[in-house]
Amino acid sequence: MKLWVAQHLNPRRYISTSFITPVGRHGGEICPFLTNQQGSARVPPNFAEGRSRPFQPMEDLFMSQGKFIVVSGGEGSGKTTLVHRLQTDFPGARYTREPGGTPYGEALRVPLLDRMYRPVPWAELFLFMSIRAQHVEEVIKPTLAAGRHVICDRYMQDTLAYQWYTRLGQRSPSQIMQLAEAAGFPQPDLWIYLDVDPEIGLRRRQQTGDMNRIDREKIEFHQHVREGFRDLFNYADYIHRGRLIDANQSPDDVYRAAHQVIDLLLT
């Protein structure tokens, strides 16, 4: 409250500390802690009346939001291979990955996937969410607000399948989705799920010789993850924006199928 009063009395500081972010950098969104659980803005009265409105360049007012595309799937399903190929076709988009995508996230990715540690399921879940919170604020939201598309290698859907459904045995995504909404995580405009038989995916992964802590889980774990991904298609939020691509086929076929759905979204 004290903080709000100080900012309220001094609109210049209020804006410069970017509690309300200028349109040019973050799409003029009210920062998450100034929003209630439903995501509607708790805007201080003087701001709502426009008396301390920050400077908004005219061209920014007409800038449209970029599209957010997520590529998900089990181990060795070909996510990274696909995302690399798409970079050539959509050079204006920003490519990023999870866990990671920021200096904070990339640093935490190392212990998160290191075989030396055995985090309990809730610890693993919250570390993924922490890395995502940083990624969303630092990379995803500002990029979309600047009108650029974002193509992300793994995101919230992967946490749902791996940590929520498989590790924690939860059946309904609603609680974790409420948390994601409260944290201001945007929903993808398109969710591409690369569906692969885990035995095939793990064989591909083993051939690269690069197996992390989660790759090394038993085959039953990976089969459960696949069920989790497939279940997500029945969840209301994903029925229309999800596309399943058979990733047992050749990399060229996967690429063509993905390219087609992305083209439909972007053109």
Ligand X SMILES: Nc1ncnc2c1ncn2[C@@H]1O[C@H](COP(=O)(O)OP(=O)(O)OP(=O)(O)O)[C@@H](O)[C@H]1O
Instruction: Give the whole-angstrom CA distance, residue 60 versus residue 55.
Output: 11
Nearest-CB residue to ligand X? 78
| DSSP string over 36-64 | -TT--B---HHHHTTTTPPP--HHHHTPP
By a kind-dependent CB cut-off of 5 to 8 A, residue 76 interacts, out of Mg ion, ligand X, none, with: ligand X
Nearer to Mg ion, 84 or 230 (CB): 84
Instruction: Give the whole-angstrom CA distance, residue 172 versus residue 122.
Output: 16
56 binds Mg ion (CB under 5 A): no
262 three-class SS: helix
**Helix extents (H) in 114-250:** 121-135, 141-145, 156-159, 174-182, 198-208, 219-232, 236-239
Nearer to ligand X, 66 or 76 (CB): 76
Strands 150-153 and 242-246: unpaired
By a kind-dependent CB cut-off of 5 to 8 A, residue 175 interacts, out of ligand X, Mg ion, none, with: none
Instruction: Give the whole-angstrom CA distance, residue 232 versus residue 172.
Output: 9
Nearest alpha-carbon partner for 111 in 214, 202, 180: 214
Residue from the set 10, 16, 56, 80 that interacts with Mg ion by CB under 5 A: 80
Query: For residues 196 and 248, is the Cβ–Cβ distance under 8 A?
Result: yes
Residue from the set 7, 21, 77, 102 that interacts with ligand X by CB under 6 A: 77
Binders of ligand X in range 182-241 (CB under 6 A): 204-205, 208, 215
Residue from the set 251, 256, 260, 265 that interacts with ligand X by CB under 6 A: 251
81 binds ligand X (CB under 6 A): yes
DSSP 34: G
87 binds ligand X (CB under 6 A): no
Shortest separation between residue 14's beta carbon and ligand X, angstroms: 43
Shortest separation between residue 102's beta carbon and ligand X, angstroms: 18
Neighbours of 242 (CB within 10 A): 20
Nearer to Mg ion, 63 or 211 (CB): 211
259 binds ligand X (CB under 6 A): no
Nearer to Mg ion, 151 or 177 (CB): 151
| Backbone dihedral angles phi then psi of residue 191, each to the nearest 5 degrees | -115, 115
Nearer to ligand X, 44 or 76 (CB): 76
Residue from the set 10, 87, 250, 260 that interacts with ligand X by CB under 6 A: 250
Positions in the binding site for Mg ion (CB under 5 A): 79-80
Q: Which stretches of the chain bind ligand X, using CB under 6 A?
A: 73, 75-81, 204-205, 208, 215, 247, 250-251, 254
